[in-house]
Amino acid sequence: MATIESENSKDSSYDRIAEVKAFDETKLGVKGLLDSGITKIPRMFYHAKVNDNTETTPNDLKFNVPIIDLKDIDTNSSLRVKALDKVRRACKEWGFFQVVNHGIGVEVLDEMLCGIQRFHEQDAEVRKTFYSRDRSKKVRYFSNGSLFRDPAANWRDSIAFFSSPDPPNPEEIPAVCRDIVVEYTDKIRAFGLTMFELFSEALGLPTSYLNELDSIKGEFHLCHYYPPCPEPELTMGTSKHTDISFMTILLQDHIGGLEVLHENQWVDVHPVHGSLLLTNDMFISVYHRVLSRDVGPRISVASFFTSSFPEYVSKVVGKTCIFYSFLDMATIESENSKDSSYDRIAEVKAFDETKLGVKGLLDSGITKIPRMFYHAKVNDNTETTPNDLKFNVPIIDLKDIDTNSSLRVKALDKVRRACKEWGFFQVVNHGIGVEVLDEMLCGIQRFHEQDAEVRKTFYSRDRSKKVRYFSNGSLFRDPAANWRDSIAFFSSPDPPNPEEIPAVCRDIVVEYTDKIRAFGLTMFELFSEALGLPTSYLNELDSIKGEFHLCHYYPPCPEPELTMGTSKHTDISFMTILLQDHIGGLEVLHENQWVDVHPVHGSLLLTNDMFISVYHRVLSRDVGPRISVASFFTSSFPEYVSKVVGPIKELLSEENPPIYRDTTIKDVAAHYHKKGLDGNRSLDPFRRASKEWGFFQVVNHGIGVEVLDEMLCGIRRFHEQDAEVRKTFYSRDQNSESSHNFTYDRTAEVKAFDDTKLGVKGLLDSGVTNIPRMFHHEKLNMHEISKEDSKLCVPIIDLQDIETNSSLRAQVVDKIRSACQKWGFFQVINHGVGVEVLNEMICGIRRFHEQDAEVRKTFYSRDNNKKVRYFSNVNPFRGKGANWRDTISFFLTPDPPNPEEIPIVCRDIVIEYSKKVRTLGDTIFELFSEALGLNPSYLKELESSNGQFLLGHYYPACPEPELTLGTSKHTDSDFMTVLLEDHMGGLQVLHENQWVDVHPVHGSLIVNIGDFLQLITNGRFVSVYHRVLARNTGPRISIASFFINTSTRGTSKVVESSKDSSYDRITEVKVFDETKLGVKGLFDSGVTKIPRMFHHAKVKDNTETTPNDLKFNVPIIDLKDVEKNSSMRVEALDKIKRACKEWGFFQVVNHGIGVEVLDEMLHGIRRFHEQDAKVRKTFYSRDMSKKVRYFSNGRLFTDSTADWRDSIAFFSSPDPPNPEEIPVVCRYLSNTNFDCDNFDTIKFIDIVVEYTEKIRAFGLTMFELFSEALGLPTSYLNELDSTKGEFHLCHFSPPCPEPELTMSSSNHTDMSFMTILLQDQIGGLEVLHENQWVDVHPVHGSLVINIGDLLQRWNRLATHAYLPGNACCSTQLWVSLMKGMAVVINLPGRESMEKMLEGLRRCWISGRLPERHTSSGDTGLASRRQRRGDSWQNNSLLDLVRLAVKVFPPSEVNRVGLSKALRAWRYMFTAKRSESGQHLAPREQRQAILLQQNCVVLVVWCVVYKASRIS
């Protein structure tokens, strides 16, 4: 099935392949056509778009290709510098330029042109002797290098010379041009060396740099001859293209016709006698083309400079391996490198002309397959076929699905899963009898094995035929042919006459296609239901309107290891139904493995591209033949040229955005047949770039190349400057806002400001001289100012008499249209609102803001539903920098406030002004409608102005205007805004990337376009950025009237507030936070209704349900013995790889951390949250720089809804907290009844320290496993510092009285590299898998692992959520291993640690120490820490003393008997102490580590007790 070319649609009998072959066999080229006297050019030369209206050739002189004079550049340094600058500019801006005075005599250039003309115009029989398509020849004559591949041929002939590094013998060069070719190529080579020197210097490199790169080692010359063309408007001399050489030097005659694409315009390159034209791909490579002319001939000589051609396969430039494929010089195929005489085109033509296909080759008795069938990669080592039974293509039983609903539901579920996971499946009991299937296979076999002469009569490459026999549909395009023959039938919508079908299979083909069509309808119904669509949806889309059958015959192959039956490919149909015989050979690519599709007698195989389209292929076999019948369902073929296809709109959402762009079936099919079976997906070019890659490049983006280059140079200068200077900037402080004060708490500052209810005016009245930090704007570019250019003034439009004078109205409409399209802003005068009204409105708003503060405060509110309210900044808690202004707002229509609600100081004027502006708004909407060519009432009828909302801004004088803004850069989200401002100014609009001042005009009003109007006009009217500067004078007053549709007002409402307009969420959140008791405090207070701030809009998502299917259990992986048993390690690695790819979540058991440690950690966290509230409050903080802090909801003030949970957080690495910072109740002494005489019975655990150390060690192990699973060295991820930062979040979710209304943890992903989760037995955690929320059932002693955003590049990211319960409390511990955070500080160096240990060195111990009492599974931890290089200096007795004093006060110590304490002291310190105070031996260091970790409290008791006795 191939694209029916549009230019051939009128004549279905046109056979382009035959025409091309006939033309090529003449060996006379285009010149031969002209000599034959033609007046109409053959169709093979037709170009679809010769004249591109979007790209026109201007006559502006500035669009002349640069001409550079090289005279005296080798002797005059100043001339050389000037030439270098011109070369640099020309290369960057054009990619093309001409040179004069280049050192090659004009007589040489003219003679070269004449020599090439002599060759092409000599006797045709002589010329034919040089004709060849063998690309290995050093001299050859041809017409169109890729004649059989290009969609349209060019009107030209060519002779090519390879002159370097291995030049031809002179005798190989035609005699008519031999001498001049030798001379010209020598001179061009010398000139090329000079130009590469100039390019090197222009790039800032040493003069010889490019020449030493062998940039000129390869030299190739293409000499084109363009005869006069009888129909130049239909064809091209050379198609639009770029050159991939390092540099091309072009010599052209006086005829002209060369064009270069510059700034999206085709620019003529006017010939200059004696000049040479240069283009290169080192700076920019630009499109160029040659027009065909009705005069001529035109002669040109293109010299390409590149690396040595025999070496190109391994030549590396930058990071890319270069494979050269010049215009009219294709790649020398690797498989032919051993035999330069091999001519694949000739072999393919000879094979095709037999019309007997692969079967004919086999019948001839061959034992070696022709080279044209060789495939480069038959055995792909990266893709192996597994023997695991789980890799069987699904088989689905369709029995009774039309009569039994439960069976249908099961079948639908299997179809859905098979389509999503495989893209392939087999069906049995499909309703088509086995005898029909068997007879169809036999019928196809009979056709292919009948008499060759009969078979040949059906052979054709005319794709418009409804029945045709052929071998390889894209035989002339594919790099390697497949070992198969085919017969094709187009059966729908316009079936062939029965007589057109071969007699040997006629009856069965008619019967089979009818039954397959009916079965196809059934399958499309199942697909529709599987997608959640109406049953008839896909059939109504005409998905089955077109039906096409390909019946393949694969003869036995004498060398199956060298070729393929069918190359790796995907299908471009809606659905393919395949019938195959018992031979097998079909493989499908699943999870990067080729899986055999084992034939099942009586089954049909289905594949589709509605869910996923997967690669498949057919192996060639030495047995056979193999028979298969593929039925493709697509749109009607005569109509597909305009049929638009794209993702089904009903299936799209924010969570499921479109992967593919809308396109036509014509475009898809055209791409499919253009690429052939090249192993690439047909749909890849139609994917949306950002979805497929996440990366894409943009050109013509509006930022000048010189700016980009200078930015790169500037960064390079910084990094290469003197090291001492560079060091002064070195820092790991990632919080720039708080760089001078790490303890800055913005939320507290905002709350304090908001609580005053006095706004910015209150700050000014208090006498501030420095503005609070909450008003600082991080990226305030005050250097973006407009030029004092009159053309950059916002338009002013006079509306006088537009109602009575039609000509004036027409002029105004034109001005408005221009202003809306170019500016999005304009001012209006004579608008009908009196100046006295405007002045009074400004005064009224000013009176309100400057009245007594206590009166003003009564209007202060953050309730968005109030019709009149006073506030400062819409949401100061969410913005990065607050604006220096206060505001009073009025919702005026359609439901105006009661007059008593409006402040009395401005009541009357607000009512009067709003009415007059509303009338003006109606007038402007009429003008907008007319400017758009619509009925004057069009926009009003859309209710674009039925809502009116007024904001009265007050901008006080600012003591530090350079640090803040009055209003941040923004666009308006309404339809239109009418703005009244006083004389102070400060408003700026962004126009042509410049901030332009809007100068106040007394009595005028400013109008600007809103986002909604830009949307409904599809961008014809633009909504542009604007801002207001802060000033040190003032106040400034402005009144903005927003015209909105009433439905847009809802966007300002809080969802949960719809039933109660008095709800004030900000106040509720602040009150909750100020209790510092969290959710536990609410629970303890006995609430039976949760506060509204916890209400979630979508707790139960009906589209995502939790299945009970066992296969939807989160994987559990056993890590037992993975360190010492290699086979178990390999098995674990495979499970981890699958779990990460398919789930992003998994649980691990036998991980090496004892169950008692896990249980005690959960108990410790629970003890903290359930201790006395007053103690708990002392840890409450929103200061993210604290290493230990307690809080409820990290983003309480910014998230739309709060979660039902409290948390305590620990930053444990790289800079752990001091032990005394950790709450006492989180530490645990597991055995308090000890005997100091028997130290072996004592076991001390500081559970937080112990757990975090064990988790850290386990994290290292997991990153090692991840590295190996990725095929990387074991230590790879650890060396990337993936675990350098360690952060623990310990959540506590009390029972919830209304769990159906809230969440314990909202739908989210983690931003770490990896998260390790310890959860108790309560459960509630869910992970989103295949669009379903799946419970993560707690397994006692297990840990849950999930992949974070930073590892998403490897696998699929999992989304998870946590549901609240109402039974009992739930405790969770999240450990996030991440790379760097704003609060992470470097580890202290040895010098600082030594200072900390000052005065305690005498206490270092040596000799025998008590053995460590470890938890189960702890073996190997000390050795792991030793391998990591942890040193004993990282703990100090000073820290331990501080810990003991806080945990066990002196009164506790005094309870210990003096004799026992002294015995303990003697036991610990009787050994000989180190006299020098230097480091201990390695064994002693290890013992010291064990002591300090596990016998901490005992040692410190002794130290403290002795210290008290001494004092």
Q: What is the pLDDT of residues 219-268, one digit of tens each?
A: 889 999 999 999 999 999 998 888 877 889 999 998 888 998 888 888 88
Averaged pLDDT, 748-763: 89
Residue 1373 has pLDDT above 60, yes or no: no
**pLDDT tens digits, one per residue of 835-867:** 999 999 999 999 999 999 999 999 999 888 899
- Predicted confidence at residue 1485, as pLDDT, reads 45
- Asked if residue 870 has pLDDT above 60, the reply is yes
Which structure tokens are listed for 858? 């009564």
Choice among 569-583, 606-620, 1176-1190 with the minimum mean pLDDT: 606-620
* Residue 162 token pair: 């390879």
Do 595 and 384 contact (CB within 8 A), yes or no?
no
Name the residue among 1359, 1284, 1348, 1360 with its Cα closest to residue 1312: 1348
Give the model's pLDDT for residue 284: 64
Instruction: Say how far residue 371 (Cα) sits from the centre of its chain.
Output: 42
| pLDDT at residue 649 in the model | 58
For the ranges 328-337, 392-401, 649-658, the lowest mean pLDDT is seen at 328-337
pLDDT for 1285-1309, tens place per residue?
A: 788 899 998 999 988 889 888 888 8
β pairing state of 67-69 and 96-100: parallel
Average pLDDT, the chain: 77
Q: What is the predicted pLDDT for the residue at 1322?
A: 85
Q: Tens digits of per-residue pLDDT, 322-380?
A: 222 333 333 323 333 335 467 888 888 899 999 999 999 989 999 999 999 998 766 55
Confidence of residue 1036 (pLDDT cuts 50, 70, 90): very high
Average confidence (pLDDT) over 399-413: 91
pLDDT value, residue 219? 86
pLDDT score, position 488: 92
Q: Give 1410's pLDDT tier (boundaries 50, 70, 90).
A: very low
Q: Are 890 and 953 in contact (CB under 8 A)?
A: no
291 and 237 in contact (C-beta within 8 Å)? Answer: yes
Between 200-214, 1072-1086, 1111-1125, the lowest mean confidence (pLDDT) is in 200-214
| Whole-number pLDDT of residue 111 | 93
**pLDDT value for 662:** 66
Is the backbone peptide bond immediately before 894 cis, with ω within 30 degrees of 0? yes
pLDDT of residue 49: 64
Contacts of 1138 (CB under 8 A, 6+ apart): 1115
How far, CA to CA in Å, does 822 sit from each of 726, 973, 991, 1008, 1089? 45, 19, 8, 12, 55
Question: 1191-1224 pLDDT, tens per residue?
Answer: 999 888 878 789 999 999 988 878 888 888 888 8
Other Cβ atoms within 10 Å of 694 Cβ, number: 9
- Amino acid type, 778: E
For residue 727, the model assigns a pLDDT of 74
- Least trusted range by pLDDT, from 184-198, 842-856, 937-951, 959-973: 937-951
H/E element, 1463: helix 1458-1469
pLDDT of residue 646: 60
Structure tokens at 1411: 């053995």
* Rg of the chain, C-alpha, whole Å: 40
What pLDDT is attached to residue 159? 95
In this prediction, residue 1452 carries a pLDDT of 38
Q: pTM for the whole thing?
A: 0.35
Whole-number Cα distances in Å, 1174 to 183, 1167, 1171, 1178, 1180? 98, 14, 9, 7, 10
Calculate mean pLDDT across residues 677-698. Answer: 52
The β-bridge relationship of strands 1145-1149 and 1343-1347 is: antiparallel
CB 829 within 8 A of CB 798: yes
Q: Which residues of 1049-1081 are buried (b: 16+ CB within 10 A; e: fewer)?
A: beeeebebbeeeeebbbbeebbebbeebbbbbb
Rounded Cα distance between 388 and 394, Å, is 14
Residues whose CB falls within 8 Å of the CB of residue 739, separated by 6 or more in sequence, listed in order: 733
Task: Confirm if 210 and 149 have CB atoms less than 8 A apart.
Answer: no
Give DSSP secondary structure letters for 1118-1144: E-TTTTT-HHHHHHHHHHHHHHHHHTS
Q: Does 763 have pLDDT greater than 70? A: yes
Q: Which of 234-238, 587-591, 1383-1387 has the lowest mean pLDDT?
A: 1383-1387
pLDDT of the residue at 743: 64
What is the average pLDDT across 512-537?
Answer: 87
Q: Which residue has the tokens 């299908």?
A: 571
Residue 1300 to residues 922, 1199, 1338, 1363, Cα–Cα distance (Å) = 47, 19, 21, 9
pLDDT at 1141 over 90: no
**HEC states along 1168-1210?**
HHHCCHHHHHCCECCCCCCCEEEECCCCCCCCCCCCCCEEEEE
What is the mean predicted confidence (pLDDT) over 932-955? 86
Overall average pLDDT of the 880-888 stretch = 91
Would residue 541 be called left, alpha or beta, if left means φ above 0 and alpha means ψ between -120 and 50 degrees? Answer: alpha
Instruction: Tell me the DSSP string of 1011-1063.
Output: HHHHHHTTTSS----EEEE--SS--EEEEEEEEE-HHHHGGGS-GGGTT-TT-
In a 13 Å sphere around the CA of 526, the CA atoms on its Cβ side amount to 30
Amino acid identity of residue 683, one-letter, is L
pLDDT(1444) > 70? no
pLDDT: is 105 or 165 the higher one? 105
* Residue 1392 pLDDT level (bands cut at 50, 70, 90): very low
Nearest to 784 by CA among 596, 638, 630, 993: 993
* Rounded Cα gap, residues 306 and 676, in angstroms: 29
pLDDT per residue as tens digits for the range 969-1017? 999 888 899 999 999 999 999 998 899 999 999 999 999 999 888 888 8
Nearest partner of 955 among 897, 872, 1020, 860, judged by Cα:
872
- pLDDT band, very low/low/confident/very high, at 665 (cuts 50, 70, 90): low
* Omega before 206 within 30 of 0, i.e. cis: no
How buried is residue 479: exposed, middle or buried, by Cβ count under 10 Å (0-12/13-18/19+)? Answer: middle
Cβ-proximal residues to 180 (8 Å cutoff; 6+ apart), any chain: 108, 111, 112, 114, 115
pLDDT of residue 1449: 41
pLDDT of amino acid 655 = 63
Write out pLDDT tens, residues 422-444: 888 899 999 999 999 999 999 99
Look at residue 694 and tell me whether its pLDDT is greater than 60: no
The pLDDT of residue 1136 is above 70: yes
